[in-house]
Amino acid sequence: PHGPNQKCKSGPVDLVFLIDSSRSVRPHEFETMRKFLIDILNTLDIGLDTTRVGVVQYSSQVRSEFSLKTHSKLENMVKAINEIVPLAQGTMTGLAIRYLMNEAFSPGQGDRPKVPNVAVIVTDGRPQDRVAEVAAEARERGIEIYAVGVARADMTSLRAMASPPFEDHVFLVERFDLIYQFGLQFQDKLCDMDMCNTVKHGCDYQCVNTPGSYHCICPEGQLLQDDGKTCGTCKSANIDLVLLIDGSKSVRPQNFELVKKFVNQVVDSLDVSAHGTRVGLVQYSSRVRTEFPLNMYHTAEDIKAAVMKVDYMEKGTMTGLALKHMLEYSFSEAEGARPASRNIPRIGLVFTDGRSQDDISEYAKKAKEAGITMYAVGVGKAVEDELREIASDPVEKHFYYTTDFSAINTIADNLKLNVCPAESQGEVEVKDPCACENLVEFQQATMNSLDQFTQKHILSK
């Protein structure tokens, strides 16, 4: 019965809808949501080898209506959607995202390896629990999240859930009857899944499809250049890097060892020498201690050995004091920072696992005003707002969060502070620390790191 253009042919996708059925969703609104779901399903190429769909509703609890492997036929899905009875309680969105991550996208429920995972969350209100951390974890695992807010939903929560870039993944409409507009936009995204074969991508090495887009990747040991297409071996040129590591007692001894490994993993990605990259290390707790200044060691081996010998302070968390110390001492010429006239990028990286006990605003601002490019890496109870305040713009490229210490090595993988030498070192006037060959280019723009996780099986890590 369908016309030739009815179904969109995407590559295979595992798609799960997460539907808010809290009591604020009125009965006629729930009916609109039902129709919206069915309308989207009608445009998809549904089947166990093509697009698999699961539907989960949530309120104060989570209920799976059907999993990715339950139905292979559209009519059975439509029947199941028409039989959904709303839970009509609270709005535990964080709980629902955790279910999505641990259950809905699990092999037991029909998730396929190497197939993109896409989630569409439809909600009409503010979550009653925390969503930022769990959503970050879900995105790190490669789930692409679209957040659709209706009526009383707020933009901050939607952005905390959704994948970047937000203009493609966040949708807010005033009324349920406008929700179909998202359907049209989403359909276009999903239908363009095989972009590598439909556009002239110009990738040097390999093109990787992502929902509605694509990106280029490079073989191991090479970096994607600023044009997003070519690969090059350019490692870091000269940077002065100071790492500030949190030695507060909440970190715990065994995790402090993991932090040291994290530091060494970052050092491994750099080209360390007296004339190349210099690295300094500062530990802070209730006070601040320079473990070694920028001019102390000139080889990666010496730096890594010194890192492993660092003693754990095990007291408070004075992040503001540490930023002040970094600005006033660590980046001074006396401690080995090269003169500002040489335009050697100054990069500060703060690693913390909790809320600061002092004010960070003043020195976070002063560090950036002094031209230091700031990265913020948070674990566990680290506060997202503080990390964002420390991080340079664009914040999305300079701030990382993970829930537990065992995952910080994946951050280090994405956090290669790769710096390409300017065409003629010295002549170049660097107005913007990120302009000169995009001086600090993370492995690939972090916007793509999500897509990389989705495609991690393609990357020969």
Measured distance CA(249)–CA(243) in Å, rounded: 19
Whole-number Cα distances in Å, 204 to 279, 285, 438, 441: 33, 46, 19, 18
For the segment 35-61, the average pLDDT, to the nearest whole number, is 90
Q: Locate tokens 């949530």: which residue? A: 58
Whether 446 has a pLDDT exceeding 50, the answer reads: no
Whether 365 has a pLDDT exceeding 70, the answer reads: yes
Q: What was the pLDDT predicted at 295? A: 94
Q: What was the pLDDT predicted at 191? A: 64
Q: What are the pLDDT digits (tens) for 304-342?
A: 999 999 999 999 999 999 999 999 999 999 999 999 888
In the chain, the N- to C-terminal Cα span, in Å, equals 46
Whether 452 has a pLDDT exceeding 50, the answer reads: no
Angle at 104 between CA 408 and CA 63, to 5 degrees: 125
Coil/strand/helix, residue 348? strand
Angle at 37 between CA 35 and CA 41, to 5 degrees: 115
Q: What was the pLDDT predicted at 244? A: 98
Q: Please list the residue range(s) of the chain that carry CATH number 2.10.25.10.
A: 201-233
Task: Tell me if 44 sits within 8 A of 51, measured CB to CB.
Answer: yes
Q: Please list the residue range(s) of the chain that carry CATH number 3.40.50.410.
A: 13-192, 240-418
Measured distance CA(92)–CA(56) in Å, rounded: 13
Element (H, E) at 375: strand 372-379
Q: What was the pLDDT predicted at 354? A: 92
Q: Which residues contact 288 (CB under 8 A, 6 or more apart)?
A: 282, 318, 321, 322, 325
**Could you give phi then psi for residue 148, rounded to 5 degrees?**
-110, 115
Q: How confident is residue 441, by pLDDT bands cut at 50, 70 and 90?
A: very low
What is the percentage of the chain residues whose pLDDT exceeds 70? 80
Element (H, E) at 37: helix 27-43
**Superfamily (CATH) of domain 13-192:** von Willebrand factor, type A domain (3.40.50.410)
**Superfamily (CATH) of domain 201-233:** Laminin (2.10.25.10)
For the segment 103-112, the average pLDDT, to the nearest whole number, is 93
Reply yes or no on domain 240-418 having CATH 3.60.21.10.
Answer: no
Whether 451 has a pLDDT exceeding 60, the answer reads: no
For the segment 386-408, the average pLDDT, to the nearest whole number, is 89
For the segment 204-224, the average pLDDT, to the nearest whole number, is 71
Q: How confident is residue 79, by pLDDT bands cut at 50, 70 and 90?
A: very high
439 vs 251, residue with greater confidence:
251
**Could you give phi then psi for residue 441, rounded to 5 degrees?**
-105, 110
Q: What are the pLDDT digits (tens) for 227-270?
A: 677 776 544 467 899 999 999 999 999 999 999 999 998 888 78
Whole-number Cα distances in Å, 329 to 177, 273, 292, 369, 407: 59, 21, 12, 16, 31
Q: Which of 279, 283, 278 is nearest to 259 (CA)?
A: 283
